[in-house]
Amino acid sequence: MEEEAAKVIGAGIAMIGAIGPGIGIGILGAGAMQALGRNPEARGPIMTNMLIAIGLCEAVAIYCLIIGIILAML
**What would the pLDDT profile of 9-59 be if each residue is shown by its tens digit?**
888 888 888 899 999 999 999 999 999 999 999 999 999 999 999 999 999
Residue 66 · residue 58 · CB < 8 Å:
no
User: pTM above the 0.75 mark?
Assistant: yes
Helices 19-38 and 43-73: crossing angle in degrees, nearest 10, is: 170
pLDDT exceeds cutoff 90 at 62: yes
CATH superfamily for 3-73 is F1F0 ATP synthase subunit C (1.20.20.10)
Annotated domain spans of the chain: 3-73
List, as one string, the DSSP characters of 1-59. --HHHHHHHHHHHHGGGGHHHHHHHHHHHHHHHHHHHH-GGGHHHHHHHHHHHHHHHHH
Q: Are 1 and 45 in contact (CB under 8 A)?
A: no
